[in-house]
Amino acid sequence: MVSLPILLSAAPVAFAVSAETWDRVASCESSGDWNINTGNGFYGGLQFLPSTWAEYGGLQYAPNAHQATKEQQIEIAEKVLAVQGPNAWPHCSMVAGLADSEASGQKTEKRSESRANQQPEDIQNAAQTTTAQAVSPSSARITASAPVRGADVSTPYRQAGPWAAGYHTGVDFAVPTGTAVRAVTQGTVISSGWAGSYGNAIVLRHPDGMYTLYAHLSSVSVSAGQGAAAGQQIGLSGSTGNSTGPHLHFEARTENSYNAHVDPIAYLRSLGLST
């Protein structure tokens, strides 16, 4: 990611989006609690991931977003918005009107300076994202998908049990062998194939810095290094590895490591899914 410039002017910050709009985003994301920390891996009124908070300069204010002021959180959110666009908050940006002309048509000096320091390919990608978001809903591309469709959770996150952590580090979806398993959002395949107790498993890295894991698959249909679109079939469910029956084990992680798991249902909801 590009480094955003530090502004030296002592003048009050003029945000590209009104404080009222950010209040509406926060109301949707966190019930308007700017100091929220529920332990689900997302922090503050606008529900920052720790990696996003650090990447966009939040550490100059606080170790994590919920420890910063509302104004500081909005300042970092403006930087995220300038690079990622409203889809950084895929559901709540629409609910709050963040994707309206107020966000896309108005540019403050601060936002223009940050974009001026991007590389040409970054500016082109941002323009393509804005164009995609302006398409009518009937032709807009899919930005998020359930990992399996129409399935119930059979084992919830953090249920105590015989797992290595002493509890369940993901969620299990009850589906028969051969059910299509889909990428929950755009990503890059980090690993695909046999993964010990996980059986056949796939790990994706997503643009928001998160990782998702899909385990106990009967087969995989993507390879490491390959890109995956939201909703793309990446494998078929099964019961390989340490499994007592057909299902999909799904995890969300802040890093590609066993102990970096967060609530996967909360992550799906952050993508705008109602699962």
| Structure confidence at residue 157 (pLDDT) | 94
Who has greater pLDDT, 45 or 88?
A: 45
Run of H or E residues at 21:
helix 19-30
Residue boundaries of the structural domains of the chain: 19-139, 153-270
Beta strand extents in the chain (DSSP E only): 153-155, 171-173, 180-182, 187-194, 200-205, 211-220, 227-228, 233-237, 248-253, 261-262
* Calpha distance 106→110 (Å, rounded): 11
What are the two backbone dihedrals, phi and then psi, of residue 185, each rounded to the nearest 5 degrees?
-160, 175
Provide the b/e sequence for 39-75 (b: ≥16 CB within 10 Å).
Answer: ebbbbbbbbbbbebbbbbbbeebbebbbbbebebbbb
* Calpha distance 120→125 (Å, rounded): 9
Residue 19 has pLDDT above 70, yes or no: yes
CB atoms under 10 Å from CB of 219, counted, come to 13
Taking Cα atoms as reference points, which of 114, 155, 160, 161 lies closest to residue 247?
A: 155
DSSP state of 169: S
Sign for the CA dihedral angle at 41, 45, 27, 96 comes to negative
Residue 162 has pLDDT above 70, yes or no: yes
Please, what is the end-to-end C-alpha distance for the chain in angstroms? 31
When pLDDT is averaged across residues 137-158 and rounded to a whole number, the result is: 77
At the topology level, CATH places domain 19-139 in Lysozyme (1.10.530)
Percent of the chain with pLDDT over 90: 51
| Structure confidence at residue 100 (pLDDT) | 62
CB atoms under 10 Å from CB of 5, counted, come to 12
What is the band of 191 on the pLDDT scale with cuts at 50, 70, 90? Answer: very high
| Structure confidence at residue 73 (pLDDT) | 95
* Calpha distance 228→225 (Å, rounded): 10
- What is the DSSP code string of 90-141? TTHHHHHTTTSHHHHH---HHHHHHHHTS-HHHHHHHHHHHHHHHS-GGGPP
Residue labelled with tokens 């403050």? 108
Residue 238 has pLDDT above 90, yes or no: yes
The SS3 assignment for 65 reads helix
Q: Are strands 211-220 and 200-205 parallel, antiparallel or unpaired?
A: antiparallel
What is the band of 86 on the pLDDT scale with cuts at 50, 70, 90? Answer: confident
For residue 139, the one-letter residue type is S
Q: What is the mean pLDDT of the chain?
A: 79
| Structure confidence at residue 169 (pLDDT) | 94
Taking Cα atoms as reference points, which of 243, 241, 265, 264 lies closest to residue 254?
A: 264
When pLDDT is averaged across residues 47-74 and rounded to a whole number, the result is: 92
Residue 269 has pLDDT above 50, yes or no: yes
Give tens-digit pLDDT for 196-208. Answer: 999 999 999 998 8
Q: Are strands 261-262 and 200-205 parallel, antiparallel or unpaired?
A: unpaired
What are the two backbone dihedrals, phi and then psi, of residue 80, each rounded to the nearest 5 degrees?
-60, -45
CATH number of 153-270: 2.70.70.10
Residue 214 · residue 181 · CB < 8 Å? yes
What is the band of 222 on the pLDDT scale with cuts at 50, 70, 90? Answer: very high
